[in-house]
Structure 1
């Protein structure tokens, strides 16, 4: 164990279980409320019933089919919105003219609530898969564009002077100076975009046409008054959101590790 601990330092850390206290307490309260019939189990399904519904969906493959459809939709919208947001934010950050021409419109449009775009998106793309992806991409676009713009605009003037002295071309300045300098802000935008993408994925499955997806699992459960299905879908949505958040934080830490300087 000692050799493993030396090779893998994270094994030396004791897991911090304090964050599990509140969820464990809520599950215990939930179990007591249903077992002692403090609540109507037709409205609030018991933990064993939810676990059984989850198991049946997992064994039957329904869970993985719906979850896979949601994640594919989520990833597509995230990539589309992230790339457009990064390009747009970079353009505004590098060009004063672009900022003056487009910036005021962008800053005004970002104040519009995301769900207010649904009627327009449905008119443009219909109610199928393209509309769902466009809705998710729009949710990702704003945080990525805004953070990219602010990160690039915050690049120190001294660095541009160094680049000029070294004779770097515009492309070299962009990839060797501007983007590395703005990387923390850009990754913050991508991190937020990933979180918003998952929230928008569930919202898109609610407001657009029915199809495979974890959000539609909860809709079907509500329509058939099967609260165990609704609650297991809710738990899956929360667990996936937590995993995506942790994954984004891990990628951000590993990618920006070069910026950490030893003291």
Structure 2
């Protein structure tokens, strides 16, 4: 009985030590991650304070912060961020759905892959922003143009990663499904898709990142609202504080979306981490 108690006590101490180690490691990683931004802000502050560049070109951090507070209070930055987020969610949804279907087709069928992949790779080599002049002629500069450009940004990484993920599923697992007399749907649902899930999540993350950058690009060229429009408007009016506020908003929203997907992926695949432990 004493031996069992000692074993449980030792395991409890080791568990607490492990949790403390993980917490300390995360805190240290967070502190290291903040070193570069803090250094850049300090350099920016010194440069503006000593007048290394004119204030019209390099406004002080305090001035940019006051502009940010003012734009949040007036609701201006929130309105433009909301417009951009609505566009990116809509375009990403359509692009991800089409990319997922296309990637599954190329991954599951060699015939579809042989027919589609050469043209698809040629399509993928053209940068997303390179399609804007042609799409402008066809769809104008309305919301349809923006949604198509954003969808294209999501479609390519989604299709490529889904196809690669499906093809990376071990053949032994598929053979197990055949031995258990799974139907094609059961094999797809229980073996192929779970095996391809990491690659699909990678496609989602890359697709969302490409969609966000494509959104900003198309708003720079053809929009009267949104964060990309704020960049152009601030540059035209030579309000560099507004430009910097828009850049900060774009960076923070993009980081938050990527971090949210990272947390979701880790949560949905917690079984995988449990096996590794």
The TM-score with structure 2 as length reference comes to 0.88
> Out of 229, 232, 237, which is 1:219 matched to?
232
**Pairing 1:194–2:194 present:** no
Q: CA deviation at 1:132?
A: 0.5
Aligned to 2:173: 159
* 1:1-263 map, 5 Å: 13-14=23-24, 15-16=27-28, 17-208=31-222, 210-260=223-273, 261-263=275-277
Q: CA deviation at 1:34?
A: 1.1
Aligned length: 255
**Over alpha carbons, which structure has the higher Rg?**
2
- Identify the structure with the greater helix proportion: 2
Q: CA deviation at 1:11?
A: 11
1:209-234 CA-partner distances (Å, limit 9, x unpaired): x2221111111111111111011111
1:95-138 CA-partner distances (Å, limit 9, x unpaired): 11101111111122211122211122222322111110110110
2:129·2:214 contact (CA, 8 Å) conserved in 1? no
Q: 1:118 to 1:36 in 2, by over 3 A?
A: same
1:185-213 CA-partner distances (Å, limit 9, x unpaired): 111111111111111111110122x2221
Q: 1:152 to 1:115 in 2, by over 3 A?
A: same
Aligned to 2:7: none
Runs of 4 or more consecutive aligned structure 1 residues displaced over 6 Å after TM superposition: none
Q: 1:112 to 1:229 in 2, by over 3 A?
A: same
2:154·2:211 contact (CA, 8 Å) conserved in 1? yes
Counterpart CA distance in 1 for 2:21 and 2:78 is 32
RMSD, aligned CA: 1.6
Show structure 2 runs of 5+ residues with no match: 1-15
The TM-score with structure 1 as length reference comes to 0.92
2:220·2:231 contact (CA, 8 Å) conserved in 1? no
Aligned to 1:3: none
1:27-71 CA-partner distances (Å, limit 9, x unpaired): 111111111111111111111111111111100010110011111
Counterpart CA distance in 1 for 2:22 and 2:35 is 22
